[in-house]
Every structure is written in C-alpha cells, then in structure tokens.
Amino acid sequence: MTLTAERLKVDLLVAGAGMAGLCAAAAAAEAGARVGVVEKLPEVGGSAVLSAGMLWTARDFTELQQRMPDADAALGRALTSDFSAAVEWVRATGTEMFGPIDGPYFGFGRGWQIDVGGLFSRCVRILEGRGGWIVRDTAVKRLLRDEAGRIRGVATQGPDGSLEVDATAVLLATGGFQGDPALVAAFIGPHADRMLVRSNPGSVGDGFRMARDAGASASRSLSGFYGHLMPSPIDDFGERHFLPLTQYHSIYLVLVDRNGRRFIDESRGDEYANQALLALPGQRAVLLADDAMRQRYVVTAPYPRGEVVDRFAEAARAGARYAVRPDLESLIAAVAEWGVPAADLRRTLDGHARAARGEEVSVDAPMPRQAATLASPPFHALEVQPAITFTLGGIRTDDQGQALDHDGRPVAGLYAAGADAGGVYHVGYGGGLALGLVFGRRAAHAALALRQSPVGLR
C-alpha cells in the first residue's frame, strides 16, 4: 500500500509496526479512531516476531520491585496492574496461547507463550477492517509541529518520495536504539558498539532522536539493556542464530571471565551476566559445565515449547571456541589456549567446588543458592560474548505513554511505547512483549482521550 491524499489525515499516527505499535493501532482502531501505521521495514513485527513469544512479566509490583528496585515505580505499577487485562485482550483477538507459564522458567513472574505472528496478523486485520492503514518500506523522518509547538503529524520517506501525514497524536514505537553504534556507545558504554545486535535491523534510534528533537527528554536506565550471552566468535551472525545459540542455561553453569574468575552469581539470570560481561576487560567469558549439566540444561528446551537443540554443538558449528575434555585438568588446559590463565581458573573451580559442598572458602562472586559442582565427565567449555536485544532507556514518558520534556511537562501530541519509552526496567528484565502490549494500548487510549477536549482528535 502507498500513502495517498485521502490517507494523509489521521487521528493517531503510529511509527513502527512491532509489538507496541501494532497493539496500539489495533486498540485505537477498535475505539473508533482513524489510525495510520508507518513501518520502515518490508514486513511488520519488529524484533517481537523474531522472539519465542513469551508474553510474561512480574506477578505484581512488589515482585517487580524486588527484582529491580531502581526501576520507575509509576511505570512498574502500570505494567503489572494492566497486564492481566492486556492478556485478555490478546486472547479476545483469537491469538493462539499456550500456558500459563509461571515463575520457574524465568525465576519469577507469570504469563503465556503466544503466537506472535498470529497476533500481528489479527492486529492488521482489526486496523484495516476499521478503516485504518499500514504502509511498509516507508520511514518516519521527522515530527511536524504547529505554531504552538504541538506535534501535528510526521514527514515520511518511501518509494513514492516524501509525504506529510497530519495527525492529532503521534505514537513512537520504533523499537529502541540498539542498532545504532553511536547511541549505544554514548549511553551504555565505550564497548557497547562492539556487541552483537540480537534484534531486527530497523531499531536504530529513529524514535529517540525525533523525540529529543521535539523537546522530549531522555528517561533513566539509559545505560541498561536486555540481551543474552551468545557464543564467541560467531561466523556471519544473523537471525538464524538468535534462538538456537542463546545461552539461556548459563544460570545453571559456571561462568568465568578472561582472568579465570567468577564475576557474578550465575543464578541471578543470563540477562544480568550479559550486562555485567560488557563491563569486563575483553568482553569475553567462558561457560563451564559437566556432562550432567549439559544433558539437563543445554540440550533441552529452555522454556515451554522451546527449540530442543544442543546449543554447545550449534555454537561450535557456528565457529565458536568450544572444548570438551575427559577430565577437568585437560579442560583447563584447553581454555588456557584461549588466553585464560590456567592457575587462576583451577583455583576458581576448586574454590567453587568447596563452597558448593558447604565449606567456608573465599570466592570471587556470591555463590548460587543451589550451586552444582563439575563432577560428571566429559567436561565442556564455551567462550561467550554479550549481545543486545533492546535498550532499557529511551524517551521519558508518564505512565500513559505521554512524552515528557526536561521539566516533566507533556510534549503535546507525542507518545512513546515499547522499547522507545525507557525506564520501566533497570538492569533486570521483566518481559519485552509485555512492555509493548501494555504501554502500546495505554498510549493509544490516552491519545484517544484527547477527543474529549476542544483540540481533540479529528
């Protein structure tokens, strides 16, 4: 579809057709608004359609705050209080859902596994069935403002050239800035631009830059990001690697840095270890397991209906440094060839084993509550590196998705949701699909409330 004159005036213009954008567009269309969606990529779905479809978050705000005490309280309350109703909305669309999924798979929380592609197809049908539209291969290049400074629409660039769309409200849902090396280096850290980007290629900070240009401020948590440990190195890294090479099981194994020392309580979660690794020299670490660990965690499904694959073997096929040896001493020697000092690694593994048995011993990082020892040969080692899926910081918003300026005042007509809106999480992670679903719908409803005012939606 292309933009034509009759489509150049809408109530709500959504920039981005991922989880936040499509759910917002469908919700607004259901409420009777004239809605347009502009997607820069050839297909809809963003990073969400590449995921395993885990729609989950904390059971309540208390649980969320226990995991992430520095996260934004107002946004956290909004997420947890609206989640159940948002899930029921997904169910009402006819989307296939599996579960429920409870805490043991993620360490906390509750939710469902959903057919993400099916949900998006239904959102598009809802949108178009109520007179809305979606254009692909078209980018939102800048926000338009009226004489009073209010956002009045967007300028787009597509196959047919440049066009302006007039809109009473604009929702930015472009997926974060993880694909922009300059932004991740500036906010996350000097080595962040070297991370693998485990995300769709279109999320390069479009929404963040446009909002800042329009006077919106940045949220907190700009230095945080969500991602997973991935093997190192990987030949020709791409979407085909995203799920089968993710080392979800790191929470059950032993993880050491390039100096042969443990640097985190592994049981905190793979996303915590992933962020911690970025701050270490060389940004590389080694996962260690015995064969009992491998059989129980590495070659089994990491979540319900997950892909059953030997993630160590797949990593080796992708070019990663991987070793399997009949005894620990020869494994230590193999890892030493990767630059990890043998004596330090030996000392770490000895201390870990003694601490796991309950002995009083000094260790470099807190021990997991249920630490397993490397006891069953053969023994395995895999070099890993950090990867980023989406940024935790972004545009500062209130709990309705309204973009805020540096003084905390609304930027009239501008909203943000999903990974474009930051600060809900801080370091930790409580579900990406939940963010897009809950805050996309909240922002859509808040924008539609403008119809009650004299300058409301047309």
pLDDT value for 457: 37
Tell me, yes or no, whether 93 lies in a domain: yes
Q: Kindly state the average pLDDT of the residues 431-457.
A: 81
**CA torsion 447→449→454→455, rounded to 10°?**
0
pLDDT tops 60 at residue 436: yes
Q: Do residue 375 and residue 420 come from a single domain? A: no
Residues 10 and 139 in one domain: yes
Domain boundary among 339, 365, 385: 385
Distance CA 66, CA 22 (A): 31
Q: Count Cβ neighbours within 10 Å for each residue of 34-62 and write b for 16 or more, e otherwise.
A: bbbbbbbbeebbbbbbebbbbbbbbbebe
pLDDT of residue 1: 64
Residues 21 and 140 both lie in one domain: yes
Does some domain include residue 11? yes
**Which of 346, 364, 385 corresponds to the end of one domain?**
385
- Residue 455 in this model has a pLDDT that exceeds 50: no
Phi and psi at 48, nearest 5°, equal: -60, -40
Mean pLDDT of 44-66: 94
- Specify whether 288 is located in the same domain as 434: no
Give the position of tokens 């020869």: 330
Q: Write the DSSP symbol of residue 106.
A: T
- CA–CA gap between residue 297 and residue 134 (Å, rounded): 42
Whether residue 453 has pLDDT greater than 60: no
Question: What confidence score (pLDDT) does residue 105 get?
Answer: 64
CATH label of the domain that carries residue 406: 3.50.50.60
Tell me: do 251 and 357 sit in the same domain.
yes
Q: In the structure, what pLDDT confidence band is assigned to residue 71 with cuts at 50, 70 and 90?
A: confident
Tokens representing 109 are 């929380």
Is 366 within a domain?
A: yes
Work out the mean pLDDT of the chain and round it to a whole number: 93
pLDDT at 131 over 50: yes
Extended strands (E) in 239-395: 254-257, 285-290, 322-325, 379-385, 387-388, 390-391
- pLDDT of residue 2 exceeding 70, the answer is no
**For residue 264, is pLDDT > 90?**
yes
Evaluate the CA torsion angle 165, 132, 453, 438 in order and state its sign: negative
Residues 259 and 299 reside in one and the same domain: yes
pLDDT confidence bin for 302, thresholds 50/70/90 = confident
Both 381 and 396 in a single domain? no
pLDDT digit string (tens) for 135-182?
Answer: 999 999 999 999 999 999 999 999 989 999 999 999 999 999 999 999
CATH number at residue 274: 3.90.700.10
Residue 458 inside a domain? The answer is no
Which residue, 368, 385, 402, sits at the end of a domain?
385
Q: Say whether pLDDT at 369 is over 90.
A: no
267 and 152, same domain (yes or no):
no
- How do the residues of the chain divide into helix, strand and coil, expressed in percent and rounded to 5? 35, 20, 40
What pTM value is reported for the model? 0.94
Specify the number of domains making up the chain.
Answer: 2
Is the residue at 325 inside a domain? yes
Residue 271 has pLDDT above 50, yes or no: yes
Host domain of residue 314:
228-385
Q: 457 lies in a domain?
A: no
In eight-state DSSP terms, residue 297 is: I
In a domain, 243, yes or no: yes
Are residues 366 and 338 part of one domain?
yes
The predicted model gives 193-217 an average pLDDT of 97
Same domain, residue pair 217 and 234: no
Q: What is the DSSP code string of 374-395?
A: --SSSEEEEEEE-EESEES--B
